[in-house]
């Protein structure tokens, strides 16, 4: 065929990677011991689709490799081969190899032949080892599972299309023509089913064929040709041995064909029609990392409705404006209120388009936990909840690596070895939970384990050793937990290749801060620990608190604000005569005067009691920012300062206020650094 296949490649790769995810997820569930027919079927179907697609596009290495996997899966599906952990492991490794092959193929490179060969050999050795299933079945399976046996000198194919085959777009003639290309082909047509002309439906296929291919080709080559039609026909492919006289072959085979379900054609009977298969894969599939985005049609419809409403409002307002008199003021107000509402709804709908379920990130963890657990010799159960919580695509993309790091940490450092757990009176299997949920305009992701918890003493010892804290400091639990976010801090007793290279938590925190989020740790010695990440739902919009200092207006991200307080004189404490701290309940908070840090002229409040203190959560704990006044809370659209200017320390971006003027958005960690750099608040680092 001379059709340009390139355009379909993208789709093929996308679907194949989805298929791999399906296979991986299914295999991991099987690994838990629960063998569900539907599970094996799903894996088989995914493998089958990849094989079919790669064969069609001429990626023969991929097709050949997948074929071996498929054969193994097929035996498992039929119950002729038990599902053993070993088989599952081999299949999981094969999925990895297949993924690499597909990636290489997509980039136009050829896959590493050595690796493929090794893995294929491993698969084949599993295939060659006898299953423990009923003996008669394995005998039946012989001709098919050994289909690459070299002794076949030719093939005898009985091809009986179902009447509807031509409606699926397949032409039996084309198939026969392709077969003829492989070698000498003898075709015997069977016209016995042809109806009288008056009942003849030109769109149905009444013919069937008996084909003798006189060429020692691979079974796979023949399978490839029938790939697209095997669901729509009765098909029997039998090798013709050199010593087997060809004349004998048709007799028994004909009778087998008409039998209800002879083993050689069981592929036919058990196949489901292709439509449901495809749909199922779509539903359970995960997207490959591409820059496109799949949007739920409901979201698009909602958007279109919204735009419709907006257009109506707009035309209403412009009619009103054409001939306006004061009597219509009420209508104008109504119209503007409507416009306001529609604009806000439209904005929300547009934002919805970028929202994807967090399962895109979570989906990699079952495999990770499985592999790592095996490597570390720990028994681990992974529980995930809230996978459908939606979050901005950019957040999804950027949160993946930090999460992997945190989960690895939990598995490696948090959870104990089985013996240790039993000794501590805990269940042998450790649990790691991944939860995601929405809370107050943010998405919260929790990673909880029931391991040993953070070791307070060891962290402290390490911090002393590194000179991060002074001996005589009395630190709260919270402050100790903060220490592990310091650069170069790792409490792992041994540096393992799993985690513990000390490049960890500070990078994790930085990544999360860059997303405008925050991270905190809860830990109960012996009971486990939890890492709680809060992220904004979207990076384009921010809930902000507008504050005034002097003549200037700034936005403080609401996510950072703990509370805002009016300072009373008795709350102020001087530290070594150098700076003030505010006693708030049991904490002493360092104070940053925004007008000092930013050099703002004419602040109304220079004394703490004159202004308002916005208590914010930053790296290293809470601190108070002194501002003149709080103006209000509003959602602001984040604009980049760097697009036309450059990064400004202490400022994360800008936004445009309702009056068209620009207001800058505070970057809380940056403000803290500025203040510390100015030498203004030495005590910041000490008390933090």
Q: Which residues of 314-328 are buried (b: 16+ CB within 10 A; e: fewer)?
A: eebbeebeeeeeeee
The SS3 of residue 645 is coil
CB of 645 to other proteins, least distance (A): 4
Q: Quick one: 229 or 616, whose CB is closer to other proteins?
A: 616
Which residue's CB is nearer to other proteins, number 185 or number 616?
Answer: 616
Q: Which of 650, 652, 667, 669 binds other proteins (CB under 8 A)?
A: 650
Q: Does 651 bind other proteins (CB under 8 A)?
A: yes
Q: Taking the chain, what is the end-to-end CA distance rounded to the nearest angstrom? A: 70
Which range, of 139-147, 151-159, 371-379, 635-643, touches other proteins by CB under 8 A?
635-643
Taking a C-beta distance cutoff of 8 angstroms, is the pair 509, 619 a contact? yes
Query: Binding residue for other proteins (CB under 8 A) from 163, 252, 308, 677?
Result: 677
Supply the minimum distance, in Å, between the C-beta of residue 680 and other proteins.
11
- Residue 97 touches other proteins, criterion: CB under 8 A: no
| Whole-Å CA distances, 408 to 363, 483, 500, 549 | 15, 19, 10, 44
- The distance of closest approach from Cβ of residue 175 to other proteins in the complex, given in angstroms and rounded to an integer, is 54
Out of 193, 259, 609, 656, name the contact with other proteins by CB under 8 A.
656
Q: What span, in angstroms and rounded, lies between the C-alpha atoms of 214 and 156?
A: 9
SS (H, E, C) 134-149: CHHHHHHHHHHHCCCC
**Number of other residues whose CB lies within 10 A of the CB of residue 303:** 18
Which range of residues in 167-175, 266-274, 619-627, 656-664 is near other proteins by CB under 8 A?
A: 656-664
The answer to whether 190 touches 209, Cβ cutoff 8 Å, is yes
What is the rounded distance in angstroms from the CA atom of residue 179 to the CA atom of residue 189? 15
Closest separation in Å from C-beta 423 to other proteins:
51
Please report whether residue 625 would count as binding other proteins according to CB under 8 A.
no
If one asks whether residue 552 binds other proteins (CB under 8 A), the answer comes out as yes
If binding is defined by CB under 8 A, does position 644 make contact with other proteins?
A: yes
Shortest distance (Å) from residue 300 CB to other proteins: 25
* Beta-sheet pairing, 233-241 with 587-593: unpaired
- Give me the helices (H) in 410-454, please: 418-423
Burial of 497 (0-12, 13-18, 19+ CB in 10 A): exposed
User: What's phi and psi for 462, nearest 5 deg?
Assistant: -65, -40
Q: Which of 643, 652, 668, 683 binds other proteins (CB under 8 A)?
A: 643
Catalytic residue among 18, 24, 70, 230: 70
Residue 646 contacts other proteins per CB under 8 A: yes
Does residue 541 bind other proteins (CB under 8 A)? no
Q: Decide if residue 600 touches other proteins (CB under 8 A).
A: yes
Stretch that binds other proteins, among 108-116, 301-309, 505-513, 655-663 (CB under 8 A): 655-663
Does the protein bind other proteins through residue 548 (CB under 8 A)?
A: no
- Segment (H or E) for 241: strand 233-241
| Number of chain positions touching other proteins (CB under 8 A) | 28
Look up 70 and say whether it is catalytic: yes
Q: Which of 663, 668, 681, 684 binds other proteins (CB under 8 A)?
A: 663
Piece in contact with other proteins (CB under 8 A), picked from 251-259, 384-392, 447-455, 595-603: 595-603
Counting contacts by CB under 8 A, is residue 649 touching other proteins? yes
Q: Mind giving me the DSSP string for 169-198? A: T--HHHHHHHHHHHSEEEEEEE-TTPPPGG
Candidates 31-39, 124-132, 144-152, 672-680; binding stretch for other proteins (CB under 8 A): 672-680
CB of 626 to other proteins, least distance (A): 15
User: In Å, what is the CA distance from 507 to each residue of 89, 210, 365, 602?
Assistant: 33, 67, 20, 39
Using the rule CB under 8 A, give the single segment among 86-94, 350-358, 406-414, 654-662 that binds other proteins: 654-662
Q: Which residues of 145-184 are buried (b: 16+ CB within 10 A; e: fewer)?
A: bbbeeeebebbbbbbbbbeebbeeebebeebbeebeebee
Binding other proteins (rule: CB under 8 A), the pick from 99, 146, 162, 639 is 639
Q: Does 658 bind other proteins (CB under 8 A)?
A: no
Among 391, 443, 664, 668, binds other proteins (CB under 8 A): 664
> Segment near other proteins (CB under 8 A), from 78-86, 93-101, 602-610, 640-648?
640-648
Catalytic residue among 18, 48, 144, 281: 48
Is 257 near other proteins (CB under 8 A)? no
Q: Which residues contact 45 (CB under 8 A, 6 or more apart)?
A: 277, 280, 281
- Name which of 202 and 599 has its Cβ closer to other proteins: 599
CB 639 within 8 A of CB 664: no
**Distance between CA atoms of residues 411 and 496, nearest Å:** 12
Work out which of 559, 598, 603, 687 binds other proteins, going by CB under 8 A.
598
CA distance 590 to 683: 7
Q: Is 679 in the site for other proteins (CB under 8 A)?
A: no
Q: Which is nearer to other proteins, 215 or 641 (CB)?
A: 641
Number of Cβ within 10 Å of residue 423's Cβ equals: 10
Among 597, 605, 612, 684, which residue interacts with other proteins (rule: CB under 8 A)? Answer: 597
CB 19 within 8 A of CB 49: yes
Work out which of 654, 672, 681, 684 binds other proteins, going by CB under 8 A.
654
For residue 655, the minimal CB distance to other proteins (Å) is 9
Nearer to other proteins, 385 or 640 (CB): 640
Query: What is the C-alpha to C-alpha distance for residues 291 and 269, in angstroms, rounded to an integer?
Result: 40
User: Residue 445 and residue 389: Cα distance in Å, rounded?
Assistant: 10
Contact status: 645 vs other proteins (CB under 8 A): yes
x/- map, 553-592, other proteins, by CB under 8 A: x---------------------------------------
| Cβ closest to other proteins, residue 571 vs residue 600 | 600
Degrees to nearest 5, angle at CA 317 with 313 and 318: 120
Residues 6+ apart with CB under 8 A from 337: none
> Contact at 8 Å (CB) between 216 and 154?
yes
Report in angstroms how near the CB of residue 648 gets to other proteins at its nearest: 6
- Out of 674, 681, 683, 684, the only residue in the binding site for other proteins (CB under 8 A) is 674
Q: Between residues 2 and 661, which has the closer beta carbon with respect to other proteins? A: 661
Verify whether residue 409 is a known catalytic residue.
yes
Binding residues for other proteins, rule: CB under 8 A, are: 552-553, 597-600, 639-641, 643-646, 648-651, 654, 656, 660-664, 673-674, 677-678
Query: Catalytic residue numbers?
Result: 48, 70, 409
């Amino acid at each position: 065929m001379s059709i340009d296949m390139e355009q379909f490649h993208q789709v093929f790769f996308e679907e194949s990677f989805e298929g791999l995810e399906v296979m991986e997820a299914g295999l991991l569930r099987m690994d838990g011991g629960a063998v569900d027919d539907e599970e094996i079927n799903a894996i088989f179907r995914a493998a089958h689709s990849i094989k079919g697609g790669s064969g069609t596009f001429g990626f023969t290495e991929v097709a050949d490799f997948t074929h071996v996997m498929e054969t193994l899966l097929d035996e498992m599906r039929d119950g002729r081969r038990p599902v053993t952990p070993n088989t599952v492991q081999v299949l999981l490794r094969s999925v990895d190899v297949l993924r690499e092959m597909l990636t290489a193929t997509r980039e136009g490179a050829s896959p590493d032949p050595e690796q493929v060969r090794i893995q294929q050999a491993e698969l084949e050795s599993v295939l060659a080892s006898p299953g423990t299933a009923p003996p008669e079945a394995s005998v039946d399976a012989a001709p098919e599972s050994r289909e690459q046996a070299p002794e076949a000198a030719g093939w005898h194919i009985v091809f009986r299309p179902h009447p509807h085959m031509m409606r699926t777009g397949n032409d039996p003639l084309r198939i026969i023509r392709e077969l003829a290309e492989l070698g000498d082909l003898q075709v015997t047509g069977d016209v016995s089913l042809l109806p009288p002309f008056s009942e003849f439906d030109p769109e149905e296929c009444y013919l069937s064929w008996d084909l003798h291919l006189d060429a020692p080709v691979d079974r796979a080559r023949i399978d490839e040709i029938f790939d697209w039609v095997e669901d729509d026909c009765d098909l029997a492919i039998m090798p013709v041995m050199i010593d087997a006289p060809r004349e004998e072959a048709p007799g028994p085979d004909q009778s087998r064909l008409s039998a209800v379900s002879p083993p050689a054609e069981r592929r036919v009977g058990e196949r489901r029609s292709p439509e449901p298969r495809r749909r199922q894969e779509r539903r359970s599939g995960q997207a490959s990392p591409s820059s496109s985005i799949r949007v739920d049609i409901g979201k698009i419809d909602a958007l279109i409705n919204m735009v419709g409403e907006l257009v109506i409002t707009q035309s209403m307002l412009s009619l009103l404006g054409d001939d306006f008199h004061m009597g219509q003021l009420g209508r104008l107000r109504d119209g503007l209120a409507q416009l306001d509402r529609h604009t806000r709804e439209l904005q929300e709908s547009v934002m919805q388009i970028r929202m994807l379920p967090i399962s895109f990130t979570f989906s990699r963890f079952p495999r990770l936990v499985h592999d790592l657990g095996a490597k570390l010799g720990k028994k681990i159960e992974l529980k995930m909840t809230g996978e459908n919580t939606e979050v901005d695509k950019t957040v999804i993309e950027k949160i993946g690596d930090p999460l992997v790091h945190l989960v690895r940490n939990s598995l490696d450092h948090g959870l104990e070895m089985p013996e240790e757990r039993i000794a501590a009176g805990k269940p042998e299997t450790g649990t790691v939970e991944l939860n995601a949920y929405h809370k107050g305009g943010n998405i919260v992701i929790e990673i909880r384990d029931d391991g040993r918890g953070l070791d307070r003493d060891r962290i402290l010892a390490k911090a002393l050793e590194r000179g991060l804290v002074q001996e005589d400091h009395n630190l709260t639990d919270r402050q100790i937990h903060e220490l592990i976010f310091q650069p170069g801090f790792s409490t792992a007793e041994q540096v393992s290749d799993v985690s513990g290279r000390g490049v960890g938590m500070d990078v994790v925190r930085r990544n999360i801060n860059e997303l405008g989020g925050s991270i905190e740790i809860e830990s109960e010695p012996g009971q486990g620990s939890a890492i709680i990440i809060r992220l904004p739902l979207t990076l384009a919009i921010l809930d902000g608190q507008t504050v005034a200092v002097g003549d200037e207006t700034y936005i403080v991200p609401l996510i950072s604000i703990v509370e805002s307080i009016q300072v009373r004189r008795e709350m102020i404490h001087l530290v070594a005569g150098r700076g003030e701290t505010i006693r708030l309940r049991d904490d002493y908070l360092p104070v940053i005067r925004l007008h000092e840090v930013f050099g703002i002229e004419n602040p109304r409040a220079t004394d703490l009691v004159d202004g308002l203190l916005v208590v914010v959560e930053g790296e290293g704990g809470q601190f108070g920012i002194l501002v003149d006044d709080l103006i209000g809370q509003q959602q602001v659209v984040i604009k980049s300062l760097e697009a036309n200017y450059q990064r400004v320390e202490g400022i994360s971006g800008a936004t445009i206020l309702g009056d068209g003027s620009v207001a800058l958005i505070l970057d809380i960690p940056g403000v803290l650094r500025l203040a510390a750099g100015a030498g203004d608040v030495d005590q910041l680092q000490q008390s933090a």
